Amino acid sequence: MARFEAYENNGGTCVAVAGADYCVVAADTRLSVGYSILSRDSSKIAHLADKCVLASSGFQGDVKALQRNLSAKELLYEHNHNKKMSCPAMAQLLSNTLYYKRFFPYYAFNVLGGLDSEGKGCVFTYDAVGSYERTGYSSQGTGAALMMPVLDNQLKSPSPLLLPALDAVTPLSQSDAVDLVKDVFASATERDIYTGDKLEIVVINSSGSHREFIELRKD
């Protein structure tokens, strides 16, 4: 007998890396359930503001609902204040939105990336109920456990316990950060069946944002 499941993990992996004056946000485009691939061209990335991008993995119904909710709230903010919402403000809004639904949460695991008011790259990583942290890089999704050791090894984020506090941005140049993201996805697709097909990369810097795609393995 069929049983209703409120939640379903559609797989996929998201990564964000912040630099001194840029932020790279990337995600694969595979949408799957169990051993079935439903789509090979499903974007997990949404532009929420001028210099702010959200990448989400999890249940696609909740991901799309969350993205629409945030887009509507950002539009209201823009009309009320005559300016775009900053990335740290959007990070707090996302936290509040997720926490508001904590008793029946959005089954979405989010990485928010962009530029802060000083033009520095920023990455915010979340759990399902809104707890978040600003970091230099992060990964969420089914391939995150495969990617984070590589990112830790290459980027060597300073410990938050160090005093005085050190800057969390990564030391890599923009092109090196993009190459690193391509490498970790190429590696993860070899081991994670829910990650693959294509890689969507969004780079945000002072001149705006641009998007590129590269092919990943399709089996």
What digits encode the pLDDT tens for the residues 193-219?
Answer: 999 999 999 999 999 899 999 999 988
Protein fold of 13-216:
Glutamine Phosphoribosylpyrophosphate, subunit 1, domain 1 (3.60.20)
Sign of the CA dihedral running 126, 130, 131, 132: positive
Looking at residue 167, what is its pLDDT?
A: 60
Helix axes 174-188, 144-155, angle to 10 degrees: 150
Looking at residue 175, what is its pLDDT?
A: 93
Break the chain into its structural domains and give their ranges: 13-216
**Helical segments of 41-114, H only:** 60-81, 87-100
Looking at residue 46, what is its pLDDT?
A: 95
What digits encode the pLDDT tens for the residues 26-64?
Answer: 999 999 998 999 999 999 999 998 899 999 999 999 999
Q: What is the average per-residue pLDDT within 98-123?
A: 94
What digits encode the pLDDT tens for the residues 170-191?
Answer: 788 999 999 999 999 999 999 9
Query: Which residues are registered as beta bridge partners of 23?
Result: 18, 204
Residue by residue, DSSP assigns 13-51 as: EEEEEE-SSEEEEEEE--EEETTEEEES----EEEEETT
Looking at residue 7, what is its pLDDT?
A: 84
